[in-house]
Amino acid sequence: MIVRAAIPLLLGLAFLASTPNVADRFGAHGVILAQATAEPPATPPANDEPPSNESPTAPSPPAAVAPAAPPVPDSKVQAPVNVPLPRVPPPQKAEQREARKMFGAVKLPSIGEAVAIGYYPKGCLAGGVELPINGPNWQVMRLSRNRNWGHPNLVRYVKSFSARVAKATGWRGILVGDLAQPRGGPMVSSHLSHQTGLDVDVWFTPMPDRELTRAEREEMSAINLVAADWININPEIWSPKYLDFIKAATQAPDVERVLVNAAIKKELCKTATGDRSWLTKVRPFYGHHDHIHVRLSCPEDSPNCKKQPPITGGEDCGKELDWWFSEKARTPRKPPVAYKPMLLSELPPACKAVVEAK
């Protein structure tokens, strides 16, 4: 009896084990019952494998990956800096540029007829002529300045003056300072005048009996004829030959002025004899203790050359000269207002064409 009763139960269990969708038919309890009676799988999951004495086949290693850069601490993180670009000024028009730089940069004269343009301290020179650095009775000093240029009248004057000096004084000749730049105009140093090719400085130092080297011409200093009190000439240096030298400078019809120090003018007034009319051209002025400054009149071929006011009076050996030794004249003048370089637009319009000419 017991065996017969158990047969249906065993048949039911076998049916449940062979049915795949037990849960669909019998619910969760059927699944549990099926799991409990089912056979274990042939190969258990890898993570459940027991230890083995055989080495399993190793899987391929993963590709190498570069380690990530460590994070930068916040304290070292810098915000991007906005650096402004330098401001580039717009190009200046020629009229707004400094005239002295433009004229000082030109190494040769303009092509064409020689013409003095404008006024002695505000002008230029077209068609300038070069004074050779050496001549029978002259040598040019300070060659690095390139200021041995002038109107043809000035170059002719220097040559004839040097010959007169040699004859009047017995010197070998003269040492020539600045004339003008190749195209005249303002200079970067030393002078406010000398712009029209009609001014020249000549040293009181006689020309030696040999040709000076270029280095000597840069380094030598001219002789100072004035004493330390700036009232009298230095008697240890002065000689009558200096009177002859200055007188020879005045003896040309186109010489308008010869500038000297007031102490030298006073000595000339004291010692000049005979015809003293030449003294009228000799004018006292500050400085000019180691050289004379000769200025020629405007040439006939230069209608745009501005004339200097004519000299009035005679020898200028009286009250006019005494003023230079007064307290007012000898007291240092107040510092001038800061010098403002002259612009090209301040020169006569023709000077723009002169300095820009090829």
Rounded Cα–Cα distance for residues 150 and 193 (Å):
13
Domain CATH for 268: 3.30.1380.10
Whether residue 76 is contained in a domain is answered as no
Whether residue 170 is contained in a domain is answered as yes
Q: In one letter, which amino acid is 189?
A: S
Find the mean pLDDT for residues 73-100: 66
Confidence of residue 16 (pLDDT cuts 50, 70, 90): very low
Find the mean pLDDT for residues 193-198: 97
- Longest Cα–Cα distance of the chain, Å, equals 185
Whether residue 50 is contained in a domain is answered as no
Rounded Cα–Cα distance for residues 199 and 308 (Å):
13
Rounded Cα–Cα distance for residues 17 and 33 (Å):
8
Whether residue 69 is contained in a domain is answered as no
Whether residue 61 is contained in a domain is answered as no
- Residue 174: phi, psi to the nearest 5? -125, 160
**What pLDDT digit, counting tens, does each position of 207-234 carry?**
999 999 999 999 999 999 999 999 999 9
pLDDT number for residue 189: 86
Find the mean pLDDT for residues 17-25: 42
pLDDT number for residue 54: 38
Task: Mention every residue, 6+ apart, whose C-beta is less than 8 A from residue 73.
Answer: none
Task: Mention every residue, 6+ apart, whose C-beta is less than 8 A from residue 158.
Answer: 131, 138, 150, 176, 179, 200, 202
Structural domain of 8: 2-39+93-356
Whether residue 88 is contained in a domain is answered as no
Across all residues in the chain, what is the average pLDDT?
82
- Name, of 26-35, 250-259, 329-338, the range with top average pLDDT: 250-259
Greater model confidence, 40 or 253: 253
pTM score: 0.74
Count of domains in the chain?
A: 1
Helix 240-250 and helix 262-271: axis angle, to 10°?
A: 100
Q: What does the DSSP assignment read for 94-137?
A: GGGSBHHHHHHH--SPPSSS-EEEEETTEEEEES-EEPPSEETT
Closest CA to 123 of 309, 302, 301: 302
Rounded Cα–Cα distance for residues 320 and 26 (Å):
144
Q: In one letter, which amino acid is 300?
A: E
**What pLDDT digit, counting tens, does each position of 230-245 carry?**
999 999 999 999 999 9
Confidence of residue 76 (pLDDT cuts 50, 70, 90): low
Find the mean pLDDT for residues 143-147: 98
Whether residue 252 is contained in a domain is answered as yes
pLDDT number for residue 94: 60
pLDDT number for residue 78: 60
Whether residue 351 is contained in a domain is answered as yes
> Between the CA of residue 354 and those of 91, 182, 281, what are the distances in Å?
21, 10, 31
